[in-house]
Amino acid sequence: MEKIDIKPNEVAVYALGGLGEIGKNTYGIEYQDEIVIVDAGIKFPEDSLLGIDYVIPDYSYLVENIDRVKGLVITHGHEDHIGAIAYFLQAVNVPVYAGPLAMALIRNKLEEKQMLNRVELHEITDGSVINFGKTSAEFFRTTHSIPDVFGIAIKTPVGTIVETGDFKFDLTPTTKQKPNLWSMARIGHEGVLLLMSDSTNAERPEWTKSEAWVQKTVDKLFNQLQHGRIIFATFASNMNRIKMATDAAIRHGRKIAVFGRSMESAMSNGRALGYLDIPDDALVEQSQIKNIPDDELLIMSTGSQGESMAALARIANGTHKQVRLKPKDNVIFSSSPIPGNTASVNAVINKLEEAGANVIHGKLNNIHTSGHGGQEEQKLMISLMKPKYFMPVHGEFRMLKVHAGLAEELDIPAENTFIQENGDVLAMDGVNPPRLAGHFPAEDTYIDGSGIGDIGSVVLHDRLKLSQDGLVIVTATIDLKKKEILSGPDILSRGFVYMRESGDLINDGRHVIFNTIRKAMSQKNASESDIRQAIIDDLSKYLHKETARKPMILPMLIMV
Amino acid sequence: MEKIDIKPNEVAVYALGGLGEIGKNTYGIEYQDEIVIVDAGIKFPEDSLLGIDYVIPDYSYLVENIDRVKGLVITHGHEDHIGAIAYFLQAVNVPVYAGPLAMALIRNKLEEKQMLNRVELHEITDGSVINFGKTSAEFFRTTHSIPDVFGIAIKTPVGTIVETGDFKFDLTPTTKQKPNLWSMARIGHEGVLLLMSDSTNAERPEWTKSEAWVQKTVDKLFNQLQHGRIIFATFASNMNRIKMATDAAIRHGRKIAVFGRSMESAMSNGRALGYLDIPDDALVEQSQIKNIPDDELLIMSTGSQGESMAALARIANGTHKQVRLKPKDNVIFSSSPIPGNTASVNAVINKLEEAGANVIHGKLNNIHTSGHGGQEEQKLMISLMKPKYFMPVHGEFRMLKVHAGLAEELDIPAENTFIQENGDVLAMDGVNPPRLAGHFPAEDTYIDGSGIGDIGSVVLHDRLKLSQDGLVIVTATIDLKKKEILSGPDILSRGFVYMRESGDLINDGRHVIFNTIRKAMSQKNASESDIRQAIIDDLSKYLHKETARKPMILPMLIMV
């Protein structure tokens, strides 16, 4: 590992994740012998990461400096900010400071991993200040799409570093938890050395609409939709939206049924923590919905992103066990497609509409708003904080870039803004210009099942190949001494579409391999490995000629 | 005058103008023996107020309490906030506190009236605090469409009253005078009893675009429009926009010619005060523009509202002395039509386009933004100030109403918001609910030429009649004793269109009057007045029958 050279009069700032990407937000603020970490998020894998459950940062820099890590402060309870907490604490077991909802979700995660009794958790609220010694962290309330969201001001002897977390300025939040404008203005007035601010919506030249605006639409829809069931699809992570729909259902005398594992879990968390005010008798079991009149039922469902395995897609496809679509059903998408999901969302909408459902979706219907502030709110945050230096975080490169442009419009000189990469260490002494003090490894670590970091690029390459052209397995029993094929060769395939329909292809393929094996065996000192390679080469060539495809070929030879 | 009953433990707040209207903003804050007045604006007359130059408040309440009025604090230099200053100071000569640009404009006005040596003027800036004794006024910087704009916090022993003045939250102002978010948050944190906030754009559910956004378009246009003259039409009151256009002209090597009296005056003020950075040699006299190549000329012009007498309309009509429209001319409207002016603006645009000019106008072209904040900014102001009570000001009734609704969304109970009328006195003791402590007369006062308040509703009714159907004057010399008509009757008309073309109508009309006079004279004890009335009645009836019009009939009788 490259030498990181931070001087005693410098505060250093870096990301383990969150720069150049949406996800795995994990930022470090380091002064002398104290390191404070903000958030411990996961990233959801891109499509090319086949079979990967999620991606977490490489914590090795923190492990090497484990004695100096003083605490983990959490901005809010979304997966890209707390999802990796168990892995983080396995690597670096330090006290965790989080607001009520994030803390409840963290407890769930740690309980699952049977780690709850081995960690130190502290609940914070708006205005909480945590002292680590030379540094401290002050939490200030912001707004987003769930309750209990905070920005954090890390105060160090060199200056104050503010990490906004995810935010919008929702002045009429349905949570009634208003952004603490006074704290932000005060922290800005006291002086901010570096502002690290959420870049998600840097490309939107607007002020993001309040959740109260969505609330009005939801209320109007529940008024209008007197007939038929209402199926409400949104992100399970959007607690505010879940509250909106369930509140409306209760006001309009509809029972609530919940479909989708993450939605069930969100509902049960929300009720336990008091964010959702749903009496027991307002809920109905999945199996009982057939006993409820259509116009007295609300179905809360996952799958607003068109996910093929989610409840909504299965309802649309007619493959859902409990819910058969009816012509008078009303389906509300209270979400907007994440780029890349547009096609699958449209496919689900088409299927729902073909089945006769009334589908309400899209921006035109005023039933979704972002949880992140647009340019005007990003500018307001910078204007409140008036930082000397600026680091756009939480976003892909082009978002960071646009966000940096906004800062320049606000008279932060371009040379005072730092678009960094994960692992870059920015050191500031408050007097001289900030400097790059080194770089530590900050590659993606893949989580697949229970394994951490045991999936490399070869595995992923294989999965990609498999996903594209399938698999052909060749079995044969060979006596290498006698140079005889005792059984086979046989061909088995998965995901190689031509095979099933083409007996000729299989038969001809077997002949090809038979000859290949015989030829390979006849060579002097032929090894198993030589035969395997010959099979792969010849069959691959043959199949590509016949089908223009290159399935993965896997010889399973039994040598006797 | 009704008794106004303000108790010693109460602070009272009222408007002399500005409620239920756009214009003549004049607000009073009164505590014991101290009255502080915010702004002294005029209102531009509605079309029905014929010949009225402008409208000012009725100052009689202040005159009656003249000994208690301690000062006039000014938010900014627009006419609807300082236009009546000479009339105000004639009524109540108190010290005036204003920012640099407003002060310069005030000096101009007072100089015109030769009052400059009789008044006390104090220049203020962001953060200035004026002590009046028990009350004080703190100025905090906001943003609008001209430089030097302030909100004012009037601190009294009962609580703080904040009057925002006109504002938007322009975080990237082209003036480089940023809104003082910190002061606003601090004042809010210290506690605000009553917020009086600008309601102009309460019906726009948005965050108003920054002037910087318009700046980008102006720059782009000057880049694109390489050929032909550029004629730039905007409000002379929009100093920011004037700066934008003239800066662009200088960068692109265009000389600047100025047309329209108010634009000339704005340019000269702006240069004198340093808001406009225009060297002498960048300007060109009106008479010299023919010597400048078309692609090196910018014409700054009034008339963006389609005003028929303004430079732009005369250019469009081909009646302007110096500027003849050419096919390659580019005309930029950096404004949006005030409701009511749309038709006349469109007429000017049509004429310009018919003459072959390239006209750039409208919101689609991104060349205008409002100087007032939309709903999101109004919500931000309320969120920063966190007032106990709220009074929407500066707006017509429906705007005040919508603004009140926004306050309610921000959890200010409806009963804590006061939609008042001019002259209503709201008294607050900070403990009990506010109460209406009376009402003083606050009717419009009309200014026509040099007269103040000498134009009543009869005169206006006459002007309306004249404007619609014209005037018919009847002259005759009558010897009432001898009951003889010595000369006439003759008929003279103005604005009564049928007359000129119809000799018959005139001749027949003269016969009618002749008979009328003879008949009237024949009555016993007939007076001049009887004859006049008879002429009016009969001629009116006759003309209405013939033309369906009712001109004003004015008998000019010489009695011998």
Domain segments of chain A: what residues? 11-206+370-429, 211-364, 457-559
Residue A151's beta-bridge partner residues?
A140
Contact A410 B171 (CB under 8 A): yes
Band of pLDDT at residue A3, cut at 50, 70 and 90: confident
pLDDT for B336 equals 82
- Name the helix (H) or strand (E) containing B153: strand B149-156
Chain B residue closest to A182 (CA)?
B185
Chain B residue closest to A406 (CA)?
B172
What fold does the segment set B11-206+370-449 form as a domain? Metallo-beta-lactamase; Chain A (3.60.15)
Judge residue B452's burial from the number of C-beta atoms within 10 Å of its C-beta, 0-12 exposed, 13-18 middle, 19 or more buried. middle
Q: Within a 10 A sphere around the Cβ of B308, how many other Cβ atoms?
A: 12
- Torsion angles phi and psi, residue A191, rounded to 5: 115, 125
From B39, B361, B372, B538, the catalytic residue? B372
* B326, B231 Cβ separation under 8 angstroms: no
Residue B139's beta-bridge partner residues?
B152
Q: Which residue has the tokens 């160090």?
A: A156
Q: Three-state DSSP class for A283? A: strand
Helix/strand/coil (H/E/C) assignment for every residue in B182-211: HHHHHHHHHCCCEEEEECCCCCCCCCCCCH
Which residues on B lie below 8 Å from A172 (Cβ)?
A: 379, 409-410
pLDDT for B545 equals 80
Its sign, for the CA torsion A353, A358, A360, A364, is: positive
Residue B219 assigned ligand-binding role: no
- Torsion angles phi and psi, residue B389, rounded to 5: -120, 155
* B345, B306 Cβ separation under 8 angstroms: yes
Of the residues A206, A208, A366, A380, the best mutation for testing chain B's interface (the one with the most B CB atoms within 10 Å of its CB) is: A380
Taking 80 as the threshold, does the pLDDT of residue A237 lie above it?
yes
Judge residue A324's burial from the number of C-beta atoms within 10 Å of its C-beta, 0-12 exposed, 13-18 middle, 19 or more buried. exposed
Which residues on B lie below 8 Å from A204 (Cβ)?
A: none
Which residues on A lie below 8 Å from B205 (Cβ)?
A: 213
Based on the residue annotation, tell me whether A444 is a catalytic residue of this protein. no
Judge residue A282's burial from the number of C-beta atoms within 10 Å of its C-beta, 0-12 exposed, 13-18 middle, 19 or more buried. middle
Q: What is the DSSP secondary structure assignment for residue A180, as one 8-state letter? A: -
Quote the CA–CA distance of A507 and A511 in Å, as a whole number. 6
Question: Token pair of B55, please?
Answer: 């409208």
pLDDT tens figures, A271-311: 988 899 999 999 999 989 999 999 999 999 988 888 877 88
Which residues on A lie below 8 Å from B176 (Cβ)?
A: 411
Chain A residue closest to B407 (CA)?
A172
Residue B439 assigned ligand-binding role: no
First and final CA of chain B: distance in angstroms?
A: 48
Quote the CA–CA distance of B41 and B27 in Å, as a whole number. 10
Q: What's the CA angle centered on A427, arms A423 and A430, to 5 degrees?
A: 155
pLDDT for B390 equals 98
* Whether complex ipTM tops 0.85: no
Q: Within a 10 A sphere around the Cβ of B432, how many other Cβ atoms?
A: 10
pLDDT for B195 equals 98
Amino acid at A542: Y
Which residues on B lie below 8 Å from A179 (Cβ)?
A: 383
Quote the CA–CA distance of B549 and B551 in Å, as a whole number. 6
Per-residue buried b or exposed e for A189-199, using 16+ beta carbons within 10 Å of the residue's own CB? beebbbbbbbb
Query: What Rg value do the Cα atoms of chain A yield, rounded?
Result: 28
Contact B171 A212 (CB under 8 A): no
Of the residues B181, B190, B204, B208, the best mutation for testing chain A's interface (the one with the most A CB atoms within 10 Å of its CB) is: B181
Architecture of domain B211-365: 3-Layer(aba) Sandwich (3.40)
Based on the residue annotation, tell me whether B277 is a catalytic residue of this protein. no
Chain B residue closest to A407 (CA)?
B172
Contact A171 B410 (CB under 8 A): yes
Question: Token pair of B410, please?
Answer: 């921000």
From A170, A247, A361, A372, the catalytic residue? A372
Which string of DSSP letters, residue by residue, matches A16-52? EE-BSBSS--EEEEEETTEEEEE----BPPPTTSTT-
If you classify domain B457-559 with CATH, what class do you get? alpha beta
Taking 60 as the threshold, does the pLDDT of residue A167 lie above it?
yes
From A39, A58, A148, A198, the catalytic residue? A198
From B198, B247, B329, B469, the catalytic residue? B198
Rounded average pLDDT over A95-122 = 94
Chain A residue closest to B216 (CA)?
A409
pLDDT for B500 equals 44
Band of pLDDT at residue A499, cut at 50, 70 and 90: very low
Rounded average pLDDT over A186-213 = 95
Quote the CA–CA distance of B144 and A291 in Å, as a whole number. 61
Question: Measured between CA atoms, how close is B375 to chain A, in angstroms?
Answer: 11
Q: What is the DSSP secondary structure assignment for residue B444, as one 8-state letter? A: -
pLDDT for B496 equals 63
Contact A380 B380 (CB under 8 A): yes
Q: What is the DSSP secondary structure assignment for residue A417, as one 8-state letter? A: B
Architecture of domain A211-364: 3-Layer(aba) Sandwich (3.40)
Taking 80 as the threshold, does the pLDDT of residue A51 lie above it?
no
* B392, B420 Cβ separation under 8 angstroms: no
Quote the CA–CA distance of A299 and A321 in Å, as a whole number. 14
Beta strands in A337-401 (DSSP E): 358-360, 389-393
Beta strands in A167-269 (DSSP E): 194-198, 230-233, 255-259
Task: Please report how many Cα atoms fall inside a 13 Å half-sphere around the Cα of residue A174, on the Cβ side.
Answer: 27
The answer to whether the bond into A339 is cis (omega within 30° of 0) is no
pLDDT for A500 equals 44
Architecture of domain A11-206+370-429: 4-Layer Sandwich (3.60)
Which residues on B lie below 8 Å from A213 (Cβ)?
A: 205
Amino acid at A523: Q
Contact A409 B212 (CB under 8 A): yes
Tell which residue, B25, B163, B148, has the closest CA to residue B83: B25
pLDDT tens figures, B221-249: 999 998 999 999 998 889 999 999 999 99
Question: Token pair of B283, please?
Answer: 């300007």
CA–chain centroid gap for A469, Å, is 28
* A27, A161 Cβ separation under 8 angstroms: no
Percent of chain A with pLDDT over 70: 91
pLDDT for A474 equals 82
Q: Which residue has the tokens 């977390």?
A: A165
Between strands A129-131 and A136-142, the pairing is: antiparallel
Band of pLDDT at residue A489, cut at 50, 70 and 90: confident
Of the residues A174, A180, A181, the best mutation for testing chain B's interface (the one with the most B CB atoms within 10 Å of its CB) is: A181
Contact A384 B184 (CB under 8 A): no
Quote the CA–CA distance of B479 and B507 in Å, as a whole number. 22
Between strands B34-38 and B26-31, the pairing is: antiparallel
Rounded average pLDDT over A57-76 = 96
Contact A186 B185 (CB under 8 A): yes
Question: Measured between CA atoms, how close is A399 to chain B, in angstroms?
Answer: 19
* A71, A130 Cβ separation under 8 angstroms: yes
Residue B424 assigned ligand-binding role: no
Q: In this predicted structure, which of A46-55, A412-421, A517-526, B318-327 has the lowest mean pLDDT?
A: A46-55
Task: Please report how many Cα atoms fall inside a 13 Å half-sphere around the Cα of residue A359, on the Cβ side.
Answer: 22
Quote the CA–CA distance of A203 and B502 in Å, as a whole number. 69
Q: Which regions in chain B score pLDDT beneath 70?
A: 1-2, 46-52, 339, 362-364, 448-469, 493-503
Contact B383 A181 (CB under 8 A): yes
Interface contacts A/B by beta carbons within 8 Å: 68
Q: Three-state DSSP class for A186? A: helix
Residue in B182, B188, B410 closest to A172 by CB = B410
Which string of DSSP letters, residue by residue, matches B400-454? HHHHHHHHHHTT--GGGB----TTEEEEE-SSSPPEEEEE-----EEEETTEES-
Residue ranges of alpha helices (H) inside B255-396 are 261-272, 311-317, 342-354, 375-385
Tell which residue, B229, B261, B233, has the closest CA to residue B245: B233
* A85, A107 Cβ separation under 8 angstroms: no
* B57, B24 Cβ separation under 8 angstroms: yes
Chain B residue closest to A212 (CA)?
B409
Rounded average pLDDT over A385-412 = 96
Residue in B172, B181, B205 closest to A185 by CB = B181
Task: Please report how many Cα atoms fall inside a 13 Å half-sphere around the Cα of residue A465, on the Cβ side.
Answer: 13
Higher pLDDT, A506 or B211: B211
Question: Measured between CA atoms, how close is A171 to chain B, in angstroms?
Answer: 7
Question: Token pair of A309, please?
Answer: 């395995």
Its sign, for the CA torsion A326, A332, A337, A342, is: positive
Chain A residue closest to B408 (CA)?
A172
Tell which residue, B340, B164, B316, B146, has the closest CA to residue B231: B316
Residue A122's beta-bridge partner residues?
A97
Of the residues B197, B207, B366, B381, the best mutation for testing chain A's interface (the one with the most A CB atoms within 10 Å of its CB) is: B207
Task: Please report how many Cα atoms fall inside a 13 Å half-sphere around the Cα of residue A61, on the Cβ side.
Answer: 27
Residue A80 assigned ligand-binding role: yes
Judge residue A396's burial from the number of C-beta atoms within 10 Å of its C-beta, 0-12 exposed, 13-18 middle, 19 or more buried. middle
pLDDT for A430 equals 94
- Sequence length of chain B is 560
Q: Which pTM does this prediction carry? A: 0.79
Quote the CA–CA distance of B512 and A548 in Å, as a whole number. 107
